[in-house]
Structure 1
Amino acid sequence: MPPIPGTFGVWQVRRDRAAPLGYVLSRHELGGISYHCYAHGRDDAGGRPWLRREDSLNSAVAWMIQHEAELSALTGRLHPEPEEWPS
């Protein structure tokens, strides 16, 4: 999905709007850009659990799709997201 309107570098990964797998956030690190994968849902401290770092957006999204079953199970154990993702 495209980034949140008005922001840069955040993507929601989903096959179905009702069941997002998580988010990819781009960050400038060590002279380049890295892509961090986060779960869909909040932990007990209110943050999104960090999952993995990849060197490209394609790799980050591919990893999340390849681990869909594990991410769906993790989402079931987390608190729901407090805000709705824009359409």
Structure 2
Amino acid sequence: MRPPRRWPAGRRCTPWPRRPAAEPPFERAHRSVEADLANDTVTSALGCAPGAAVLVMRSISYDRAGRPIERFTGFHRGDRSRLNVEVFHSTDR
């Protein structure tokens, strides 16, 4: 597991340029959630025991042209997290 990235003071979290306000936030996103064990950096940030179970969510969002516009990695304590999933049937495809 890679530790959370530390950004220099004053730097924005996303390396991609901002979109015009009229555009929707994103067209699609790919997200994954996996279980892992907390390393020292995650342990310190979340206040959990070393080696504790954590959920790691990674996401990349894309605009209408398929360009990546946002990415993030989030670490969540396994003993204090819940994953809710809502599924809809769509005939659009």
TM > 0.5: no
Higher helix share: 1
**Which protein, 1 or 2, shows the higher relative CO under an 8 Å CA cutoff with sep ≥ 6?**
2
Bigger CA radius of gyration: 2
